[in-house]
Amino acid sequence: MIYFPNSKINYGLRILNRREDGYHNLKSAFIPIGWSDVLEVNINMKATPGSLIFSVKGIEVEGPSENNLVVKAHKLLSEDFDLPGLKAVLLKNIPTGAGLGGGSSDGSFMLKAITQLCDLNLTNEQLETYAAKLGSDCPFFIKNTPALVTGRGEILEELECKIQSKEILVIHPGIGVSTAEAFAQLKPNPTPLDYSQPSTITNDFQDPVCDKVPVVQDALDFLKDHGGEFTQMTGSGSAVYGLFEIGSVNGPELVSKAVSKGWKAYFGAFL
């Protein structure tokens, strides 16, 4: 079966403080968007039960395959359930090191795929528990609906978000940002974001990342220059996005202009 693990944007991101476990408490809104990978998962009757044959196409993913969250998701469920042999192929479209949550989405969709293919009958709440073991952003992609996110990213509350009535242009300016390095430059801010006051919806990572990686600021300026009514970096970077009234701009033309600069870009409606 074929699945489409989608990405997300952070609408605001506040790092409140560092926790004793080494993680940080944060507050953000995660909104799903249509920029997606493609994940094909099938039962392989000829393979050893519990095994996984996994391959990646498209954008290169650094590191050994055992570190991929698709593989880790399979391992988590194989420890608790008797699974048949499986084969998974991931077509990677979402840029890595971008703050778009592509890897987290891949892992969570693999959990959902195995649950469906192997009739595990896991609830969303059970899947979120498994997803939290994969990474902080992963539980969000189980329900995959707008959410107010707190804790280290695993505490989710439903969120009605007006920005979903907009169109979005996302730009990845051709360079990744290390999350660890981004955190190293950041000073926690205990003042929480107030989502009732749009003017306060900022990303704590944006200024320090732009200072160190000027092309991120270039991409933000591009969005503003072409009419983005709200622009912001997502996650710890390096992708940025702009919001536009539906029908107010020629999306394919803006994507073409962004691509001509050596960037990757996505234009569309929110999911």
- Residues assigned a catalytic role: 8, 137
Cis amide bond preceding 256, omega within 30 = no
Q: CA-to-CA distance for 51 and 75, rounded, in angstroms?
A: 9
Residue 3 near residue 39, CB atoms below 8 Å: yes
Cβ atoms within 10 Å of 53's Cβ, excluding its own? 13
Residue 42 near residue 76, CB atoms below 8 Å: no
* Type of residue found at 223: L
Strands (E), 64-208: 86-92, 147-150, 155-158, 167-172
Residue 266's Cβ-count burial label (10 Å; 0-12, 13-18, 19+) is: buried
